Amino acid sequence: MLKIRLLLISLFCSTLLISQQEQKKTLKEILTTIEKSFNIKFSFSEEVIEGKVIELNNEKSLSAILARIETKTGLEIKKISNRYYTIAQKPNQTICGYVYDIATGLPLENVTIIADGKGVGTNEKGFFTLKNVNPSEIIKISYVGYTSAEKKVSEINNINCERIYIGETLDLLKEVIISSYLTNGVVKKTDGSITLIPRKQGILPGLTEADVLLSTQQLPGIQSPIENAAGIHIRGGTPDQNLILFDGIKLYNTSHFFGSISAFNPYIVDNVTVYKNASNAKYGNHIAGVIDIKTMSDIPEKTSFGAGFNFTTADVNTTIPIDKKLGIQFSFRRSISDILNTPTFDKLSQKVFQNTIIADGSTLTKEQPFIEDENTFSFIDFNTKLIYQPNKNNTISLQQISIKNNLDYILENKNDIEVRSDEINIENDGFGISWNKKWSETLHQETSGYYSNYTLFYDGNKTRNNTIYDYTIKNNEVKEITVSTQLSQKLNEISTLNFGYQFTHSNISFNLEQENTDLFTNAVNKGNNTNNQQTVLLEYILKKSNTFNLHAGLRSSYMPLLDRTFLEPRIYTRLKLFPSFWINASAEFKQQYTSKIVEFFTSDFGLENELWALSNDKEIPILKSQQYTAGLLFNKNGWIIDAEVYYKVIDGLTSLSTGFNNTTGETIFNGNARILGADVLLKKNWSPKISSWISYTFGDNSLNFSGLNEGKSFKGNFSISNAVYLAQQVSIDNWDFSVGYTIRGGLPFSGLRSSFNEEQQEIQEITNFNINSLPDFHRLDASVTYDFFWDKKRKIRSKVGASFINIYDRKNIIQRSYEKAIDPNDGRQIINTVDTFSLGFTPNIVFRIQF
């Protein structure tokens, strides 16, 4: 009889628990059922169990049921006798845990943990501790760019400390195929693009900070042949053929100190997306790569402030949640060269000012009674962003960026009462507004408007006895307004259709004026050139998990200036053949109507002798490119192999854009380029703290200009045939180390031939364009940083670090060119050889504080 009773009770409990699994019940209802089922009694205060709801699973024994109630409610159940139990609130407790990235398994630092009104951040090991927390509370785990998580305090395992895994936001996770491409914070996405996340980015060789433009140059296929931050050559393209956006604003100047330092504060940048091929259809007016820089996209959860300096700049930045619907971000950065002389700026100055009028002035102060009355250089950049979210379906943002560079140089010879002065100002201001609207779960719309204004002004003059006897004036201005709207319609779980409209108004002008009363007067004024381009775009995206991806887009643009319509199709596809092995291919046609041309009016100044100009289909044709790419990707057990080959054709080149008409009698030559190349990356993650990689880049850039080089093809000025880069990264506790070694072939240069005329005077001329190569370029770079906290609560974080470029002080010749000159002995025209050298050994330090 007893066995039958126990069987009936067991069946009753099972039925009861199954029904409970289907629907949550109040704790009081559950306790009443348990009392009847197991013939026991609970003693408790109504306030203790009030409002508590619980769902049981398949627990059958009384002990298992009571243990689950304790875990889920934070209550403490004590057995008084075989029949009587008491229920009371558990005393406050200390909880601990570790937070990890679910994709990489790596610990996440500075994750915010909040419970019971208390908050802490995780350390470099992802560890946190919260004291005196109510067991019934819920802890909230949040980290920028990651999906927030919640967990009951009562569910935390405090014996071994809970291991909590969080993942990046769902939208980003769907896009990522490799989460640690070079280092942490560098990911490769399913559309072939690469995204850098500065706040997560590991240290890279030669960098103390996650510099936006210098970091992109660590990627295979992206190089800076003349060691400039802004001199980014992507797969044979030149810097002016890239599209660089900052929060949607197109920038025509992206650097400070004549290309040496990037103009973006990495501490306010959320992510940087880089396309080397087949970019999204929304990107136009470029034939090389795309670098799309984004700052904060959500209202910040808390106020943060950061400040720091290195041997070139000092900066401050802050993000402030004004309320739940409104947030603001601000950053300001300034050079310190006019306040403090540092070895870093000295080395940069030696490289930048070589072969310029300033270098000549330094010689004159040593050999003749000249003195430098003024030699000051300064720059600033600042940006502001305001985000307003009236509800979950609407986000409005306002953004602004300003980049300014100023150089004033005065050289005076008091004996002759002679003064030489040079002033150059370069500015790029941008403003934008965007509205993101979520019409439904499947239909989104983004509408935006942007304004960019670039100005370059140079004034150089020479006076004697207060009378100007030589002057040069140069102006270049670009004004651009872009208005666009794009809708994204999700067709089903795996496919999306994007379509939109863009209108761009471009106004570009330049003015060159030079007068030397002893020689000649010359002027070029292109006035105002205006273009209003209208574009419709269409893009289809298919994403079938990580098995197959297809991105197919089309841009159709009408250009009234030329009364022509241009079609720009582009396609990228990726297919998984085997586990951990993919192949990809892409094809694209692009056009560009703004580009830089070389001018020789200010060649004696030696800085910024390129001007932005608008294509007119005559002297400055529309640039057109075709690029075809095929590649493979392997990712398994910490090994990454990523290899791509590409073939590229560029039409519409002129000698105005290459500078080849410098020593010829003709004015303009038209030509094209054929580029064949390959990018290979081999990387191994030995552990979460140690990684190594090697990249190889091959390029064959062949130019052909009718009328130049006897009609024979020749190498491009910045063609690098072979380049190898090796890097090692190690993290030990709070220390991060990295070292990198670069070796590549030297740039090509032309031959110089001498002959004699009938009067037996020597005549020089350039022959066999770019047939020779400079010596191989190589250098060793290293970086180290140390992170620490000022207080036990870990609210104030700091970083100190140092970087070393060209550790063994290799004197690399990075460029060789020729310039016309007048022989002072006989007055005949000659050609001088001009060599440009790389940076010597260049140290830098950084100190930052964040709270």
What are the Cα distances from residue 446, in Å, to 250, 498, 501, 539, 782?
17, 11, 11, 15, 42
Mean pLDDT of 304-333: 94
Q: Which residues pair with 512 in a beta bridge?
A: 474, 524
> Which pLDDT does position 177 carry in this prediction?
83
pLDDT, tens only, 644-691 = 999 999 999 887 766 554 444 445 778 899 999 999 999 999 887 899
> Which pLDDT does position 572 carry in this prediction?
96
What are the Cα distances from residue 308, in Å, to 12, 120, 763, 846?
68, 23, 56, 7
The answer to whether residue 405 scores a pLDDT higher than 80 is yes
Q: Which residues pair with 255 in a beta bridge?
A: 262
In angstroms, the CA 709 to CA 245 distance is: 37
> Which pLDDT does position 179 carry in this prediction?
79
What are the Cα distances from residue 661, in Å, to 601, 656, 668, 820, 833?
13, 7, 7, 12, 16
> Which pLDDT does position 788 carry in this prediction?
87
| Residue 524 region by backbone torsions, left for phi larger than 0, else alpha for psi between -120 and 50, else beta | beta
From the list 55, 69, 71, 91, the residue with the least C-alpha distance to 157 is: 71
> Which pLDDT does position 437 carry in this prediction?
96
Token look-up 């000025």 returns 717
Of residues 43 and 491, which shows the higher confidence score?
A: 491
pLDDT, tens only, 462-481 = 888 888 878 888 899 999 99
Please state the domain extents for the chain. 2-89, 93-167, 176-295, 308-850
**Tell me, what amino acid is at 95?**
I
Cβ contact 264:213 at 8 Å: yes
Mean pLDDT of 442-457: 96
pLDDT, tens only, 756-813 = 666 666 677 777 888 999 999 999 999 999 988 887 666 788 999 999 999 999 999 9
In angstroms, the CA 573 to CA 582 distance is: 10
> Which pLDDT does position 537 carry in this prediction?
96
> Which pLDDT does position 362 carry in this prediction?
62
The answer to whether residue 734 scores a pLDDT higher than 70 is yes
Question: What's the pLDDT band for 365 if we cut at 50, 70, 90?
Answer: low
DSSP-H helix ranges across 195-261: 212-216
Question: What's the pLDDT band for 72 if we cut at 50, 70, 90?
Answer: confident
Of residues 793 and 254, which shows the higher confidence score?
A: 254
User: May I ask the CATH class of domain 176-295?
Assistant: mainly beta
Q: Which residues pair with 548 in a beta bridge?
A: 544, 575
Cβ contact 673:653 at 8 Å: yes
* Radius of gyration of the CA atoms of the chain, in A: 33
The DSSP code for 241 is G
pLDDT, tens only, 500-514 = 999 999 999 988 887
In angstroms, the CA 572 to CA 219 distance is: 19
SS3 172: helix
> Which pLDDT does position 347 carry in this prediction?
93
* 574: its two tokens: 């990726």
In angstroms, the CA 815 to CA 838 distance is: 9
In this structure, whether the domain defined by 2-89 belongs to CATH 3.55.50.30 is answered with yes
**Pairing relation of β-strands 243-246 and 290-295?**
parallel
Q: What is the pLDDT of the chain when averaged over all its residues?
A: 85
In this structure, whether the domain defined by 308-850 belongs to CATH 3.40.720.10 is answered with no
* 209: its two tokens: 């900070």
Cβ contact 678:643 at 8 Å: yes
| Poorest-pLDDT segment among 6-15, 73-82, 154-163, 249-258 | 6-15
* 157: its two tokens: 């395992």
The answer to whether residue 7 scores a pLDDT higher than 70 is no
Q: What architecture is domain 93-167? A: Sandwich (2.60)
Q: Provide the angle, in degrees to the nearest 10, between the axes of the packed helices 27-38 and 2-22.
A: 170
| Poorest-pLDDT segment among 24-28, 238-242, 631-635, 724-728 | 24-28
Helix-strand-coil percent breakdown of the chain, rounded to 5?
A: 10, 55, 30
Residue 16 CA neighbour count, 13 Å, CB half: 21
Cβ contact 284:568 at 8 Å: yes
> Which pLDDT does position 491 carry in this prediction?
95
Token look-up 């951040």 returns 121
Token look-up 């002297």 returns 619
The DSSP code for 202 is P
pLDDT, tens only, 33-53 = 888 888 888 888 877 787 778
The answer to whether residue 21 scores a pLDDT higher than 50 is no
Highest mean pLDDT among 24-28, 99-103, 390-394: 390-394
**Pairing relation of β-strands 290-295 and 304-310?**
unpaired
Torsion sign (Cα): 700, 251, 280, 329: positive
The answer to whether residue 517 scores a pLDDT higher than 60 is no
From the list 554, 517, 521, the residue with the least C-alpha distance to 539 is: 554
The full DSSP string for 32-96 is HHHHHHHT-EEE--HHHHTT-EE---S--SHHHHHHHHHHHH-EEEEE-SSSEEEEEEPPPEEEE
State the SS3 of 182-199: CCCCEEEECCCCEEECCC
pLDDT, tens only, 612-649 = 989 888 778 899 999 999 999 999 988 999 999 999 99
**CB count, 10 Å around CB of 466?**
7
The answer to whether residue 13 scores a pLDDT higher than 70 is no
Mean pLDDT of 98-112: 77
In angstroms, the CA 786 to CA 781 distance is: 18
